[in-house]
Amino acid sequence: MIRYLIKRLVLAVLAMVAVSVLTFLLFFAVPTSPAYVMCGKQCTAHDIAQTEQRLGLDQPIVVQYADFMKGIVAGRTYGSGELAVHCDAPCLGFSFRTNEPVTSILARTVPATTSIVVGATVIQLVVGVGLGMVSALRRGTAFDRAAVGTSLVGASMQIYFFGPILLLLLVYQLHVLPTPGYTSPLADPGMWFEQMLLPWLTLGFLNSAIFARLSRAQMLETLAEDFVRTARAKGLSRWRVYARHALRAAITPIVTTAGLYLGAALGGAVITETVFGVNGLGRASVDAVNQLNLPVVMATVLLAAFFIIVMNVVVDMLYSVIDPRVRLG
């Protein structure tokens, strides 16, 4: 078990390094010099050279990578003398366009995104998995058919279609909800909840459809397993057979999917934030791309990759808790 975990962590770190190298290389493939973009309209060759120097863009790529990594660990200073800007550790780059370290942008936007993703995930697990399980147990009934039909519609629905309809209806027509946005739950938990509700419902319900279908299929498959028949042959009550024997086995692949789906939920969050005008990481990175604000784009790509890798490790660990064959193998 310990050896398995160590192996898994080492792999995760290696993956992280590989992703950072790749991301770095990718940004060198961008045809425009970041310095040129930052410099604005009237820019002399001298200005560009100066900016490039400040950013360290005149250094060989290996040195730049080393500087970047060092910045994460120890912070770094861009330029020298009067123009010098300092970026505290962990420094993920500096946004000259907005004149702040990238980490400040992240600190401002990550809470909103986290709120959306976590809330939507809770909904998709409770509603989606619950619906799927119940319809598997009531297979062939009216409930099952309704659930299957609804989830089919939900799974093929898009946020940018469903979102605006809800927005129009609940916010602008019926006025039951405030305009979505982000208020810190520490400052005003009620407001936080009300403003987040729409993004949660939209993203959560659409993802629920996928989880309902997955859970239903998984549960039906498990119910046909020999060990479920054994459990019934022992004389266990129906409820116990479902909860202790079938559910326990069916939940494993659902956990995996849920973990990996958090990565996809990040993607969903980008669209959700755009649709509802929430200032989150997704929106910040879309803005950064539009403005070719490369340090920000790069930091968000790295952050997303980091998040997905961490989720993979978490899923593997959960897996080993659930399945003794992994734990002991």
Partner 1 sequence: MTATASSAATSGVADDRPYLEVDDLRVQFKTEDGIVRAVDGISFALPRGRTLGIVGESGSGKSVTSLTVMGLHNAARTRITGSIKLDGREIVGLDDEQVRRMRGRDVAMIFQDPLSALHPYYTIGKQISEAYLVHHPGRKAEARKRAIEMLDRVGIPQPKKRADQYPHEFSGGMRQRAMIAMALVNDPSLLIADEPTTALDVTVQAQILDLLEDLQREFNSAIIMITHDLGVVSQVADEVMVMYGGHAIEFGSVEQVLRSPQHPYAWGLLQSVPSLRGNAEEDLDPIPGSPPSLINLPSGCAFHPRCAYKMVGGGPCDLEVPELLPTADAGHVVACHLPENERRRVYEEEIKLGAAQ
Q: Are strands 94-95 and 100-101 parallel, antiparallel or unpaired?
A: antiparallel
CB of 152 to partner 1, least distance (A): 21
Asked if 328 interacts with partner 1 (CB under 8 A), we say yes
Across the chain, where does the E strand assignment appear?
76-78, 85-87, 94-95, 100-101
CA dihedral sign of residues 114, 16, 287, 108: positive
Q: Among residues 175 and 234, whose Cβ is nearest to partner 1?
A: 234
What's the one-letter identity of residue 205?
A: F
Q: Among residues 8 and 232, whose Cβ is nearest to partner 1?
A: 232
2, 42, 233, 290: which one binds partner 1 (CB under 8 A): 233
CB of 160 to partner 1, least distance (A): 40
Q: Among residues 48 and 250, whose Cβ is nearest to partner 1?
A: 250
Nearest to 150 by CA among 137, 134, 165: 134
CB of 168 to partner 1, least distance (A): 45
x-or-dash pattern for partner 1, window 198-227, by CB under 8 A?
Answer: ---------------------------xxx
Q: At what angle do helices 281-290 and 247-276 cross, to 10 degrees?
A: 50
77, 179, 184, 230: which one binds partner 1 (CB under 8 A): 230
Asked if 7 interacts with partner 1 (CB under 8 A), we say no
DSSP for 193-220 reads HHHHHHHHHHHHHHHHHHHHHHHHHHHH
Which residues does residue 78 pair with via DSSP β-bridges, in sequence order?
85
Asked if 82 interacts with partner 1 (CB under 8 A), we say no
Asked if 235 interacts with partner 1 (CB under 8 A), we say yes
Asked if 315 interacts with partner 1 (CB under 8 A), we say no
CB of 248 to partner 1, least distance (A): 6
Using alpha carbons only, how large is the chain's radius of gyration in Å?
Answer: 24
Residue 52 CB contacts under 8 Å (≥ 6 apart), including other chains: 33, 35, 58
CB of 8 to partner 1, least distance (A): 20
Instruction: Using DSSP, state whether 125 is helix, strand or coil.
Output: helix
Q: Among residues 45 and 328, whose Cβ is nearest to partner 1?
A: 328
Asked if 231 interacts with partner 1 (CB under 8 A), we say yes
Asked if 245 interacts with partner 1 (CB under 8 A), we say yes
Instruction: Using DSSP, state whether 221 is helix, strand or coil.
Output: helix
Query: What is the contact surface with partner 1 in residues (CB under 8 A)?
Result: 225-227, 229-238, 240, 245, 248-249, 322-325, 328-329
